[in-house]
Structures are given as C-alpha cells and as structure tokens.
Amino acid sequence: MKYSTRTRYGLRLLVYLGARYKGKFLKLNTIAESEKISIKYLEQIVRLLKPTGIISVARGAHGGYKLAVDPAEINLKQIFTILEGNIDPIECLQESFDCKKKVLCSTIEVWQGLQTVIDDYLEKNKLKDVVDNYKSKHSINMFYI
Amino acid sequence: MKYSTRTRYGLRLLVYLGARYKGKFLKLNTIAESEKISIKYLEQIVRLLKPTGIISVARGAHGGYKLAVDPAEINLKQIFTILEGNIDPIECLQESFDCKKKVLCSTIEVWQGLQTVIDDYLEKNKLKDVVDNYKSKHSINMFYI
DNA sequence: ATTATATCATAGTGAAATAATATGATAAAG
DNA sequence: CTTTATCATATTATTTCACTATGATATAAT
Ligand code: FES
Ligand code: FES
C-alpha cells in the first residue's frame, strides 16, 4: 500500500504554487528543477489538475501555471482524488464494483472503516496547512521570489 | 492506493480461522473453496503467516491450519504488517530510506499524519471484532461446522 | 511576420509488482 | 505403502508505474 509518485509530486507542485498564490504565472521548468521532478512527468500531472479548475494556465512564451483557488479552500481529499484517481483502499468499496461476496462479507466493514479515517484526515487538512509549513521552512527565500 | 489481494485474502483467511478458533485443524482446500481463492495462492499467503506464530500447522493427512492465538489478542496492524510487508503510505517515512529532501520537505508531515490515523485505526481493531461480524453474518451455519 | 518560449497531447518503453500457476518434494495418518 | 495435505521453488501473464520521446499548438517579444 503506497501512494504513487504522481500523488506525491502533484502535492508538492500544488504546495509550491500555493506558497506563491496570487503571484505571477510560474513555468514548469523552474518548478521541476526546484522540486527535482522530471518535467515531462510534471506536465502530465499538471494536465490532470487543469480540468478541475484548481490551477490556471497561460500558454505560450512567459506562460505557466498558478493556483486558481485559495489554498484555504482546498482540502487534501480533493487533491488526492484528482491525483490518485480514486482513493478507496480496495475495489469492493467502489459503487461501480459489484462484488458477489458483499452480502456475507465480514471484512468489508474493515475497509469501510479504514476509508473513513483516511477520508476524515484528508478532508480536515487544507492545502493552506501544508503551504504554511512550506513557508516556515523556506522563510529565508520567500521574499525574493 | 490499493491494498493487495494478498492482504485481503489473508485477512479473510484469518477471519475464517478465527471464527473456528479452538476447533480442529482445517485444510486449505476447504477454505480456498469456501472463500473462492486459488488454493496455490493461499498456500503462499499461509507460508507468510506461519513464521510469525499466528497460525499453527499440522502436516500430512488430516493436517491443516488453525489460529494459534486468541483473536482478541491480535490487532489488524499486526496482520497488515505481515501481509502487506510495510504499511507506510510512502517510502520517505521508512527509517531505512534516507530522502535527501526531508529537511526542507513540507509534505512529509502530511504523510506522517496519514500514517498515524491509519495505524491508530488498525491497532484499535482486533481480529475478534471482524470475527464477531463474520459469526453474526454466518450464524445459521456456525453450529454445523 | 518570425522566432523563441512554453504548454498540450499522444504514444511508447523499461522495470517492477501483482496475482496467480505448475511441478515436485516432504511429512504424517491410516 | 498409499493417500492426503503441507512445503518450496520456479515460471508466467497481466497490470501498473514512472517515466521518455516526438511533435503540435499557442502566445509574447522582436
Ligand atoms: S470481498 Fe468484496 S465485499 Fe468482501
Ligand atoms: S520528498 Fe522525501 S521527505 Fe519529502
């Protein structure tokens, strides 16, 4: 049970953008270098985020990305759901998945319970919380961006 | 983020054995059929469990497996750790993994927090709780085993 | 207009993990 | 000494992961 690098990178990207919220558009190349992530891979991640409206884009020269919404208004569950695709710990929990054993299954409640504590945690934590942490750790540089 | 079938099957196996705790040795074939799991795959899972002492084994004819410890004394974290190998949501949390970015990383706390809520949940839930659920759902048959 | 810059989009690839399956050895009961 | 059931390794098919490659498209600056 591991979260994908897609989610880990995506979260780091959003924290990076969140720390520079209301600033200029930032090009991916800079972010990729700064976060030590393959730019081509980041492009794919960013394309996953775009349709949800969480980031806004400027194409062409001097283009780039910025966060489109207030970090205080986004929680981690929303982010994880976009990046991880679906955060159910097992397939049986998905509505679309019709497990024949569901009626007599005694373990489904275990997974439901697990999903609940994970969901609660992710909903409780806003992007802003992580951004604040980022800012405090990178405080020296934040004025020079 | 999905838990492996190894963990799901293994849990179902242990619940099955737990519901028959203090009974005879049960052969894998019966369990595999009843739980609709490939017997050869179950053999591998069972071999994962054996060295931990959670189950006891009788070889040869009329052999099989039974739970070696009281279901009330085992929690799900112990089970998951055996089956899943390591239940950290990302590598950076493992002590053996020396992530160069840890010092300035602002997302590590997110993962640590997530790990904590998962661990807490799994520790709080005993195998007995799942077994009780199993028994109540299968109550009709429990007297004829 | 043209060029430089940066995003957009799809396809492909190598490695690893997953979920089995196959084959045969070993141990114990009857 | 045969049947039964576990023990152990090896092999395989499928899928997922984490990129990588190639080229198209859009826009700012010259
Ligand atoms: S195995 Fe699908 S609901 Fe339990
Ligand atoms: S990326 Fe490893 S600690 Fe954050």
Give me the domains of chain B, ranges plus CATH numbers: 5-137 (1.10.10.10)
The SS3 assignment for B77 reads helix
**Dist. CA B3 → ligand 2 center (Å):** 22
Chain B nearest C-alpha distance from A128 (Å): 11
For residue B137, what are the contacts with CB-CB under 8 A and spacing of at least 6?
A104, A105, A106
Residues A11/A83, Cβ–Cβ less than 8 Å:
yes
Which tokens in the block code for residue A88? 């159910």
Question: What integer pLDDT is reported at residue B109 of this predicted model?
Answer: 95
The backbone torsions φ and ψ at residue B56, rounded to the nearest 5 degrees and listed phi first, read -115, 150
CB of A53 lies under 7 Å from some atom of strand C: no
**Dist. CA B30 → ligand 2 center (Å):** 46
Q: pLDDT band at residue A31, thresholds of 50, 70 and 90?
A: very high
Query: Which pLDDT tens digit goes with each residue over A14-23?
Result: 999 999 998 8
Residues A49/A81, Cβ–Cβ less than 8 Å:
no
Integer Cα distance of B54 and A50 in angstroms: 49
Please tell me which residue, A94 or B108, carries the higher pLDDT value. B108
Contact status of A91 with chain B (Cβ, < 8 Å): yes
